[in-house]
Amino acid sequence: MDKSFFKQHISQQFNAELEDIIKQVMAMGGLVEQQLADAVHAMVEGDAELAEKVMTSDYEVNAKEVEIDEECTHILARRQPTASDLRLVIAVIKTITDLERMGDEAERVGRMGLHLLDEDRNSAPMSDIASMGEHVREMTRGALDAFARMDVEQAVRVAQLDIQIDSLYETVTHKLMRQMTAAPDSVPRLMDIVWATRSLERIGDRARNICEYVVYFVKGKDVRHTSYEQMAEQATGDRH
C-alpha cells in the first residue's frame, strides 16, 4: 500500500495499528496460499504426509481469522475511524472471511490426497487439475498482492483470471463425467475428485471477492454483483 496512506494520521499509534493489521492479513494470506499449493500437490502426487500438513495448518488459518477480527473490532471501538480508514477496516473484515473459507476449500482438496488410490489418479485428468490449481494459486497470489498494495488496476486484472479458471473447471468436470459414464464402478471415487475440483473453482470466486474489496477501499464503490466490464469501469472512475 502507498506509504502516504499511513502518514496521513496524526496518531503514530493508529498508523502502526493499521499497518500491523495489513501485515497480519498478508501473513494469513501467505498461510492460505501455501495451504493451497500443498493441497493441490498432495492430491495430484498422492502425498499423504503433505495432505496431513494441510489439515493441521487449517487451525492456524482459523485462529488468524479470529485474531484479526478482534483486532478490527478494537480499532473500530477505540479509533472510531471514518472515510478511507473505515473502509480499510471493513475491507479487512470481509477479506479474512474469504481467506478463511479459501483455507477450508484447500483443506477439502488436501483430504483427497489421503483417499485417492493410484488407479484413480492415473485415470483422472490430473494434469488439467494441476493446471487449474496453478491458475487458482496465481489468482490468489495476485489478489493478495493487489490487496497489499491496494492496487485497483491489478485487482481488476486479477479478477478476470476467474474466467479462465471457470473454463478449466468446465473442461475437468466434463472429462470426469465422461469417465464415470465409461467406468460406472469408479463413480464414488471420481466424485471425490469432482468435489476437489469444485473447491478449486470456489477458491477462484473468493479471490475475486478480495479484488472487489480492493476496489471498494480505494474507490469507495461496491462492485459486487457487477460484470467484469462494470468492475473495470468503476475502478477507473473517480472516487465518489
C-alpha grid cell, residue 91: 475491507
Sequence-distant (≥ 6) Cβ neighbours of residue 101 within 8 angstroms: 202, 206
Q: Which stretch binds its own copies (CB under 8 A): 76-84, 117-125, 140-148, 230-238?
A: 76-84
Interface pattern 102-141 for its own copies (x via CB under 8 A): ----------------------------------------
Say what the alpha-carbon torsion angle 88, 146, 95, 230 is, to the nearest 10 degrees: 90
Residue 214 in contact with residue 147, Cβ under 8 Å?
yes
Shortest reach from residue 19's CB to its own copies, in Å: 21
Q: Which span (24-32, 46-54, 58-66, 137-145) binds its own copies, by CB under 8 A?
A: 58-66
Q: How far is the CB of 62 from its own copies (least distance, A)?
A: 4
H/E segment holding residue 100 = helix 83-115
Q: Which of 168, 94, 113, 98 is nearest to 135 (CA)?
A: 168
Binding mask 174-203 for its own copies (x = CB under 8 A): ---x--xxx-xx-xx--x--x---x-----
The distance of closest approach from Cβ of residue 231 to its own copies in the complex, given in angstroms and rounded to an integer, is: 14
- Tell the smallest beta-carbon distance from residue 209 to its own copies (Å): 10
Q: Which stretch binds its own copies (CB under 8 A): 66-74, 112-120, 136-144, 148-156?
A: 66-74
Q: How many CB atoms lie within 10 A of CB 83?
A: 8
SS3 40: helix
Q: Work out which of 26, 48, 90, 130 binds its own copies, going by CB under 8 A.
A: 90
CA–CA–CA angle 73, 150, 104 (5° rounding): 60
The reply on whether position 10 binds its own copies by CB under 8 A is no
CA–CA separation, 230 and 152 (whole Å): 14
Question: Which segment (22-30, 49-57, 65-73, 120-128) binds its own copies by CB under 8 A?
Answer: 65-73
CA atoms lying within 13 Å on the CB side of residue 98: 25
DSSP 58-69: HHHHHHHHHHHH
Task: Write out the residues near its own copies by the rule CB under 8 A.
Answer: 62-63, 65-66, 69-70, 73, 76-77, 80, 82-83, 86-87, 90, 93-94, 97, 173, 177, 180-182, 184-185, 187-188, 191, 194, 198, 222, 224-225
